[in-house]
Copies of this chain bind each other. A is one copy, B any other.
Amino acid sequence: MREFRAPEVVIRRLAIYLRALGQCEEECESYISSKELGERAGVTPAQVRKDLAMFGEFGKQGVGYEVCNLKEELRRILKVNRVINTALVGVGELGMALARYNIRRAQRQDDYPFRLVAAFDVDPQKIGRKIERMVEIQPFARLTEVLRDLNVAIVILTVPASAAQEAVDRCVEGGVKGILNFAPAKVSVPNGVKLQNADVTLDLQQLAYYL
């Protein structure tokens, strides 16, 4: 495999292909054509072939791709073929829901890569409680230290807008390399840290325009 940074849109599609292959596997299909994979992912077969060709040759003319094999290749390319320590910062309603989802999914699916190892909040009433009897909520004051100790790579940020930038700065100090930001605020990260924004209200507003 060539070592290069693929464009974000390609990476996004690879993640969608991976999701589709997981569903194929559940349906016990051994092989899949670029046509079927494209249909499941909502792109053309040519796009599937072009995207995959950036990373190697995975299919056979007339046979298609072996589902299990292509899934493993995509997991390797996307670097999700390993455990990625993940933390939640801000245990409000949304944070709690996302934490529970993550813990349950990891329990159910062996190869789910994101392991929730810590959660943080400022509310003394929440501190010490355990999410799903697994992950204890810790004080925000210990954020940087704990992130570093537990080697957390990704943080899911669900704090109020006013607390977002400070939380991000502390996460970066703690060695975090990726932040999924649900806070309704624009935050900045230094080079070397990747930010993904997921503000639900922005999504709704974008939909409203097209009504």
A8 on the B face (CB < 8 A): yes
User: A122-130, A140-148, A200-208: which lies at the B interface?
Assistant: A200-208
User: A17-25, A45-53, A62-70, A166-174: which lies at the B interface?
Assistant: A17-25
Min CB–CB distance A104 → chain B (angstroms): 9
Inter-subunit contact A211/B97 (CB<8 Å): no
- A23, A188, A205, A211 — most chain B CB neighbours (10 Å): A205
A94 on the B face (CB < 8 A): yes
Determine the chain B residues whose CB is within 8 A of the CB of A96 once the complex forms: 93, 97
A118 on the B face (CB < 8 A): no
A184 on the B face (CB < 8 A): yes
Total copies of the chain: 2
A32 on the B face (CB < 8 A): no
Determine the chain B residues whose CB is within 8 A of the CB of A163 once the complex forms: none
- Number of residues of chain A lying within 8 A (CB) of chain B: 58
Inter-subunit contact A211/B42 (CB<8 Å): no
Inter-subunit contact A78/B114 (CB<8 Å): no
- The docked-state distance in angstroms from the alpha carbon of A77 to that of B174 is 41
For A211, give its contact among B153, B199, B200 (CB under 8 Å).
Answer: B153
Inter-subunit contact A211/B177 (CB<8 Å): yes
Chain B residue nearest to A202 in the complex (CB) = B15
Chain B residue nearest to A86 in the complex (CB) = B204
- A-B contact list, 5 entries, CB within 8 Å: A19-B199, A19-B202, A97-B97, A177-B210, A180-B200
Would you list the 4 A-B pairs with minimal beta carbon distance, nearest first? A178-B207, A97-B97, A194-B210, A15-B205
